[in-house]
């Protein structure tokens, strides 16, 4: 992982943890503060699972999957073109995964608080780490569409580096 990606990951992790601490210290658990009526609330809640509360009773499985995902993504970075957008994308994903992983390790659940109602659908409550992951994935999808999913080292036909043989 390069320095730029690491910096973005640390910033994403810090913003996630700071916002969770701030909400936890100001909003009582399982209560909401209306910010924009019928659209956005700050709702303090705990999620022992993943998206939409799935795998709620499988903490160890979630921890293992998250750790494996961070390792795979960290190794996968090298296959993408080294540019600012990709560095930001991977940093956001790793920072977001690490933020929620920290919660799961320390508390046994993830602290969520962003609560949106979109077209009469009360979207599941989420946090800054979740936003970082989603934005990072969208940026990587864009990179793939633009053909930036191949680093200069992997751009050859066979996907291997070619070696120049000096002429005599």
Lookup: tokens for 48: 């022992």
**Nearest of 2, 5, 44 to residue 25 by alpha carbon:** 44
DSSP letter, residue 91: H
Which listed residue (16, 103, 115, 130) is catalytic?
A: 130
Which listed residue (16, 103, 112, 115) is catalytic?
A: 112
Q: Give alpha helix (H) positions in the chain.
A: 3-26, 59-76, 84-106, 128-145
Lookup: tokens for 114: 């962003």
Q: What angle do CA 53, 25, 67 make, to 5 degrees?
A: 40
**Is 115 considered catalytic here?**
no
**Is 130 considered catalytic here?**
yes
As annotated, the active-site residues are 112, 130
């Amino acid at each position: 992982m390069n320095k730029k990606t690491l910096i973005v990951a640390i910033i994403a992790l810090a913003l996630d943890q700071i916002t969770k601490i701030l909400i936890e210290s100001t909003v009582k658990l399982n209560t909401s503060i209306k910010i924009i009526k019928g659209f956005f609330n700050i709702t303090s809640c705990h999620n022992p699972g993943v998206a939409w509360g799935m795998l709620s009773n499988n903490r160890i499985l979630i921890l293992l999957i998250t750790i494996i995902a961070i390792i795979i993504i960290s190794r996968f970075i090298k296959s993408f073109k080294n540019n600012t957008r990709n560095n930001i994308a991977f940093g956001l994903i790793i920072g977001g995964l690490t933020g929620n992983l920290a919660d799961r390790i320390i508390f046994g659940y993830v602290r969520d608080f962003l609560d949106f109602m979109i077209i009469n659908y009360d979207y599941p409550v989420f946090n800054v780490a979740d936003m970082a992951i989603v934005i990072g994935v969208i940026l990587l999808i864009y990179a793939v569409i633009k053909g930036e999913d191949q680093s200069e080292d992997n751009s050859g036909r066979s996907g291997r580096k070619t070696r120049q043989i000096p002429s005599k």
